[in-house]
Structure 1
């Protein structure tokens, strides 16, 4: 059955998983909005975007894609899918076509994240091991979630999912914000992505922007209602 209310698809970023959306999901569900939060593989921009696009294309009816952090780069590419009607960036990267995360970040002063990454390796079939990164556990609270209670942050640090290092250099094959309306939430006290990167990318995308003062990168955990309210704005505009 096709519904006129878009389904919200929440795409998490690096160093997190879909559980980070729990508070936002509860807010959206209380408003009767259909929502799913699939796992983002975090293995590379093209592959991750193809996975999210595949999920979106199997939903019957319109979709609003929401991306946090690196998930913003993923929805920028996956958003080209026909039934995606809007994009919402939450403390996220909105790339230009042909641009990489490294290029976008490189135009601005580095955030504390850059000097606090820990490298790991993982096996590749038929090839040399590849590199992936997490945030050093002792730096995780200040870098990722400074406004989240310490006992929660400790769990988030232990449960973080690594991002393939190659994802920083992979370029976006599409910029869906050129074709579809977008909204963006800037986390004013973000220590993972320089807030100026978020502001610049949101302005370039012509997004409707909300800034949450004092919010860390983990704004979906610390301020779920404000994140959900922006998503609701996009859903209602497309309904």
Structure 2
């Protein structure tokens, strides 16, 4: 074989080998988890999920958004995403599904996880989605433009599978949601370009299971159905953590 042919053969083998290696190399699993709590609660309710994920080697950060407007909640979430070092799995519960749908366009976000959450498309508002199907109850009230659930009905509506004492604490420590947050449409929908996972809570009296199913089918999310209340992150933390870890370990 001539010197020229030998050089060509070596170059071809190197090129093919590099291309094969690049094709075979999977995307890295995400180690950074960012969790955004929903309306009426704060991030402390996610402690059990946090502990499971942390024990399994994930770096978990919980956003404490103000619930004063969609824009301010998205900005609070983006600040936390910006502090992460690697690919991010962005998790949202309830109203925070709208927050992660907008904030999830950040390049660091790899995957979205919707936990009994709203999943709007661009141009849709949270309140618009909630009214799409008959609401499961009329417990939420908006005096002076902030929503809350009366304490006496909180466990029935929000946390039927949580202990009475824990549900009462949640009722008495509600973080009320600004009405304007529900009325503001998201400008983009991150799930249009990024994979999404969803936990559908079949005993939910806040976000209708029928609405959840419609949204998640529309988006093509990978759905896990759980017989749980809206407070699934408290009543079944291991199940919630497992779905988040599945999303984090996705390599394609």
On whether the aligned pair clears a TM of 0.5, the verdict is yes
Is 1:223 matched with 2:210? no
Is 1:103 matched with 2:138? no
- Preserved CA contact (<8 Å) 2:29 2:248: no
Is 1:159 matched with 2:162? no
CA distance in 2, matches of 1:183, 1:203: 11
Equivalent in the alignment of 1:124: none
CA distance in 2, matches of 1:185, 1:51: 24
Q: What does residue range 50-89 of structure 1 map to in structure 2 within 5 Å?
A: 50-89=75-114
Q: Which structure features the higher share of strand residues?
A: 1
Runs of 4+, deviation exceeding 3 Å: 118-121
Equivalent in the alignment of 2:43: 18
CA distance in 2, matches of 1:200, 1:28: 29
User: Structure 2 residue aligned with 1:149, among 163, 180, 183?
Assistant: 163
CA distance in 2, matches of 1:85, 1:5: 8
CA distance in 2, matches of 1:198, 1:37: 23
- Preserved CA contact (<8 Å) 2:29 2:249: no
Query: Can you give the 5+ residue segments of structure 2 that lack an aligned partner in the other structure?
Result: 1-27
Deviation at 1:105, TM superposition (A): 1.8
Per the normalisation by structure 2, the TM-score is 0.86
Equivalent in the alignment of 1:173: 187
Per the normalisation by structure 1, the TM-score is 0.91
Equivalent in the alignment of 2:150: 136
CA distance in 1, matches of 2:179, 2:251: 35
Structure 2 CA distance for partners of 1:117 and 1:106, relative to 1, 3 Å = closer
> Can you list the C-alpha shifts for 1:89-114, whole angstroms capped at 9, x where unaligned?
000001100001122122211121xx
Equivalent in the alignment of 1:33: 58
Name which one, 1 or 2, has greater alpha-carbon Rg: 2
How many residues get paired?
225
User: Structure 2 residue aligned with 1:94, among 105, 114, 119?
Assistant: 119
Deviation at 1:38, TM superposition (A): 1.8
- Preserved CA contact (<8 Å) 2:30 2:89: no
Query: Can you give the 5+ residue segments of structure 1 that lack an aligned partner in the other structure?
Result: 122-130
Equivalent in the alignment of 1:119: 142
CA distance in 2, matches of 1:50, 1:41: 10
- Preserved CA contact (<8 Å) 2:64 2:76: no
> Can you list the C-alpha shifts for 1:31-79, whole angstroms capped at 9, x where unaligned?
1111011202111112211220121022111111000000111000000
CA distance in 1, matches of 2:140, 2:214: 24
- Preserved CA contact (<8 Å) 1:4 1:61: no
